[in-house]
């Protein structure tokens, strides 16, 4: 009983009132060859992204001395690689949906679990990537605005601590969103606004820090 309820809640979070069998049938009926070609092109771009981020992870992780900025870039590459890998799996599922529509109906519960897990991880990696970009921008700005403090007073392992904290906060935040969304009907109208506001705040921090950095550099060059 609990397993069935969980699957139904997952489907409601992802597709609204449609159950998984209706979703598969509806999706199979609207998939055209143009969409398949478009999905194949996106699959190629995903492969390029996986190779590029994989090379960054390999180079920064094993062949380069770590510094405060490379720690952020390494974590960012890991988050982006993981996110692109999940998109790659979603595209593969989409491309195989047309060919195996009838067979997928027998695996509808497993498909629901797959959608839930992939959706959760996508949100975690996406939020982690945005947080790491913000931390990288702020640290670059601080290193230019306060160079003496940055060289002499900055904690040695600050980048690693901040990166680990951002990963943990992203996991906790997304978990709370999923739990609250599942058990509270009122929160379903509020939570999209919370996610949007959180993303806007991080984006504004990046924008402000980069504006300060550009202004300082231009003034210094003059």
pLDDT for res 26: 59
pLDDT for res 64: 82
pLDDT for res 129: 92
pLDDT, mean of each 10-residue run, the chain (222 residues): 42 46 58 72 88 91 83 92 88 69 57 77 90 91 84 84 92 83 66 78 89 80 59
The number of folded domains in the chain is 1
pLDDT for res 22: 60
Separation of alpha carbons 121 and 70, rounded Å: 24
pLDDT for res 18: 46
Q: Half-sphere exposure of 83 toward its Cβ, with a 13 Å CA cutoff?
A: 17
pLDDT for res 184: 67
Separation of alpha carbons 128 and 168, rounded Å: 9
Residue 186 near residue 114 (C-beta atoms within 8 A)? no
Backbone torsion region of residue 16, taken as left when φ is above 0, otherwise alpha when ψ lies between -120 and 50, otherwise beta = left
Task: Provide the residue range defining the domain that includes 116.
Answer: 2-221
Residue 144 near residue 214 (C-beta atoms within 8 A)? no
- With CA atoms as reference, report the closest residue to 142 among 213, 215, 36, 90: 213
Q: What is the CATH number of the domain that holds 178?
A: 1.20.1070.10
pLDDT for res 166: 92
Q: Any residues with CB less than 8 A from the CB of 78 and at least 6 apart, and which?
A: 53, 57
Separation of alpha carbons 36 and 32, rounded Å: 6
């Amino acid at each position: 009983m609990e397993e069935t309820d969980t699957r139904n809640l997952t489907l409601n979070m992802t597709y609204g009132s449609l159950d998984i069998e209706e979703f598969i049938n509806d999706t199979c009926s609207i998939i055209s060859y143009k969409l398949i070609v478009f999905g194949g092109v996106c699959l190629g771009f995903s492969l390029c992204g996986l190779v590029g981020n994989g090379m960054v992870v390999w180079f920064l992780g094993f062949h380069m001395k770590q510094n405060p900025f490379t720690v952020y870039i390494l974590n960012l590459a890991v988050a982006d690689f993981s996110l692109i890998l999940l998109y790659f799996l979603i595209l593969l599922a989409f491309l195989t949906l047309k060919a195996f529509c009838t067979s997928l109906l027998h695996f509808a519960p497993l498909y629901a679990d797959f959608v839930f897990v992939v959706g959760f991880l996508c949100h975690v990696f996406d939020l982690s990537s945005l947080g790491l970009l913000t931390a990288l921008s702020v640290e670059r700005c601080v290193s230019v605005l306060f160079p003496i403090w940055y060289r002499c007073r900055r904690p040695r392992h600050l980048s690693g601590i901040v990166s680990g904290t951002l990963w943990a906060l992203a996991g906790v935040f997304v978990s709370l969103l999923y739990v609250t969304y599942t058990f509270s009907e009122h929160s379903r109208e509020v939570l999209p606004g919370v996610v949007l506001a959180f993303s806007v705040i991080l984006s504004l921090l990046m924008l402000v820090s980069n504006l300060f950095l550009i202004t300082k550099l231009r003034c210094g060059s003059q």
